[in-house]
Structure 1
Amino acid sequence: MRAPPLMLFAAGFGTRMGTLTADRPKPLIPVAGKPLMDHALDLADAAKISKVVVNLHYRGDQIREHLAARPILFSDESDLILETGGGLRAAMPLLQESPVIVLNSDAVWTGENPLLALMAHWRAEMGALLTLIPVDMANGHSGHGDFVMDSTGKLQRGSGAQSFVYAGAMITRTEGLPDIAEQVFSVNRLWDRQIEQGQLFGYVHQGQWCDVGRPEGIALAEGILAGQRP
């Protein structure tokens, strides 16, 4: 498929990072010598994605300044942070297409480029395609699994030893977003509708992944990027 536009989430407060986000937004915390956000944008560059939209809230001026040399569009949530679903819907006038790629800015990856893999696995009957990590390989992630997957890749909610964690990268159709009444809502609301319609799918990332949502995740991520086994 032709590369869809990319929505990069960068509006969160990063409260789990403690003092590291007292004077800067989490996407600008350095990991292995570059801000977290730049690791995400490297994936977009390698996938030849031409349109990138970044949402802003906490210390958004710093992110604007950091990205000033790039042809990036900004979805400004300065007045009210909208969570993932509301943020994606607010950015639709900038994205202007469906489906779109959605990427979190607080993880690092090795192995295959997840954005290229999403495009390779995408099929027309899908409502969304999520990049997944087996729960026992989800470095830096302290929760339970999010989904279980059948032999066709179709997802249902579930946890346990055979479950998977959503890794923060997906392709999704956006047509269902205007039907959600709330202004502030999680993308989970859209996923629940897609599950009911049998249109939520996943694939398993071939490589390492690390959630950098807490301070201890930085050293873990740097070790993974350096080729160390977690």
Structure 2
Amino acid sequence: MSFAMLFFAAGLGTRMGDLVKDRPKPLVQVAGQPLIDHALALSDLPQIGTKVVNLHYRAEMLRAHLAGRNILFSDETDLLRETGGGLRHALPLLGGGPVITMNTDAVWRGPNPVAQLTAAWREGMEALLLIIPRDRVRGHKGPGDFTRAADGRLHRAPDAIYTGLQIIRTDSLADVAQDVFSLNLIWDKMAAGGGLYGTVYDGQWCDVGQPSSIRLAEEMLHV
């Protein structure tokens, strides 16, 4: 099965402070490589087809950096739509099947998370989120997001952390009236109906959401 993939790169990255005064957050470097490149490298798999990057803050810099890479752009310079609105806005480029979405502000150590996620996808799932236990996480502040039942279904609880990588069916996006909305709205409806699933990442993950996390990420990568 082939999946289209959306990379969320439109956020303002305000927690990064001065590091994003002259560049978008996905161009902040970790281990000598922009965050967006760390994410894109994980998508070089035969099961990944169309790749789309959404744009808002300093969009022209990301366009220039990614030029010539066979990547499509979903332009949100008119309005920052959050994750749910951003995914719906990009659907004309992504097609109608299940879509992989990935945040671009994290780095990984271990097996390819995209490959692990696609291998776990099954018919009957409305969404499959890649989660990780707190003891294999760096740089993340705050409680966890979900607990995973024995059958793989997810429920809200301050337990495992969502890594920012998922496969999701997009049909229900059309039911949301507002232009700006979070995917949390969709996940809660899916969870209530028993269609929200999770699979546990086998490696380590670092949330690069603030300047202090860059050192943590590089230590995790053993740079």
TM category (shorter chain) comes to: over 0.9
User: Is residue 3–residue 47 contact of structure 2 (8 Å, CA) maintained in 1?
Assistant: no
Cross-structure match for 2:129: 130
Cross-structure match for 2:191: 195
Cross-structure match for 1:67: 66
Distance 2:150 2:46 in 1: 27
Distance 1:140 1:202 in 2: 21
Cross-structure match for 1:44: 43
Distance 1:129 1:44 in 2: 17
Distance 1:87 1:206 in 2: 29
Cross-structure match for 2:221: 225
Cross-structure match for 1:180: 176
Total equivalences in the alignment: 223
Matched, 1:214 2:206: no
**Could you list the per-position Cα deviations for residues 28-69 of structure 1 after superposition, in whole angstroms to 9, with x for gaps in the alignment?**
001001100000000001455231011000001000000001
Displacement, 1:120?
A: 0.6
Letter in structure 2 aligned against 1:195 = A
Structure 1 segments of 4 or more deviating over 6 A?
A: none
Identity of aligned residues (%): 54
Root mean square deviation, CA, Å = 1.1
Q: Which runs of 5+ in 2 are unaligned?
A: none
User: Is residue 47–residue 116 contact of structure 1 (8 Å, CA) maintained in 2?
Assistant: no
TM-score (norm 2): 0.98
**Could you list the per-position Cα deviations for residues 187-219 of structure 1 after superposition, in whole angstroms to 9, with x for gaps in the alignment?**
101101101110000011000100000001101
TM-score (norm 1): 0.95
User: Is residue 130–residue 170 contact of structure 1 (8 Å, CA) maintained in 2?
Assistant: yes
SS in 1 for 2:150: coil
User: Is residue 136–residue 203 contact of structure 2 (8 Å, CA) maintained in 1?
Assistant: no
SS in 1 for 2:155: strand
Displacement, 1:170?
A: 0.4
Specify whether residues 47 and 110 from structure 1 end up closer, same or farther in structure 2 by C-alpha distance, changes over 3 A only. farther
User: Is residue 3–residue 119 contact of structure 1 (8 Å, CA) maintained in 2?
Assistant: no
SS in 1 for 2:69: coil
Displacement, 1:181?
A: 1.0
Cross-structure match for 2:112: 113
Distance 1:63 1:49 in 2: 21
SS in 1 for 2:49: coil
User: Is residue 53–residue 73 contact of structure 1 (8 Å, CA) maintained in 2?
Assistant: yes
